[in-house]
């Protein structure tokens, strides 16, 4: 009997950690969940399938709520800390994107571009960046 109690006591910290971890899980966003979508009819109060316009509105709300909060400034800013160290917050302008596409021969073509605008141009307009322009290590 005592042996069983000791085993339960040994497992207790693990059980507590599991319970704590489960209570601190982030809630899943509505956009990530799959399932049935219903709306409450304003006149009858009954649950029903949403109309196409209501569904578009719900999807727009879900995208707005799921959009990441922009905490990094658009322009580079210098931050001086109390311990005399300095850092620069670059924002999205310093972001380097690696884009892999397939050429007409079926080979993979890897391109590195700086900035979201350049990445979108490569994807939408099929622009190819020369190898000299891709040397972002020297920047």
Q: Is the pLDDT of residue 10 over 80?
A: no
Q: Report the chain's mean pLDDT, rounded to a whole number.
A: 74
pLDDT, tens only, 68-123: 555 555 677 888 889 989 988 777 667 888 888 887 888 888 888 888 788 888 77
The pLDDT of residue 32 is 55
Q: d(Cα 69, Cα 76) in Å, to the nearest integer?
A: 18
The pLDDT of residue 29 is 52
- Strands, E assignment, 1-139: 39-40, 47-48, 77-80, 86-89, 96-102, 108-114
Sequence ranges of the domains in the chain:
91-138
pTM of the model: 0.34
Q: How far is CA 130 from the centre of its chain?
A: 30
Residue corresponding to tokens 């709300």: 61
């Amino acid at each position: 009997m005592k042996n069983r109690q000791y085993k339960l006591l040994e497992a207790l910290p693990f059980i507590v950690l599991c319970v704590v971890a489960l209570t601190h899980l982030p809630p899943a966003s509505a956009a990530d969940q799959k399932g049935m979508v219903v709306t409450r009819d304003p006149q009858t109060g009954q649950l029903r399938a949403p109309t196409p316009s209501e569904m578009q509105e719900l999807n727009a709300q879900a995208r707005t709520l799921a959009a990441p909060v922009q905490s990094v400034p658009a322009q580079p800013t210098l931050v001086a800390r109390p311990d005399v160290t300095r850092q620069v917050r670059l924002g999205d302008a310093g972001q380097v994107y690696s884009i892999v596409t397939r050429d007409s021969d079926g080979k993979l073509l890897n391109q590195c571009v700086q900035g979201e605008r350049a990445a979108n141009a490569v994807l939408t307009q099929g622009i190819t960046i020369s190898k000299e322009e891709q040397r972002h290590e020297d920047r």
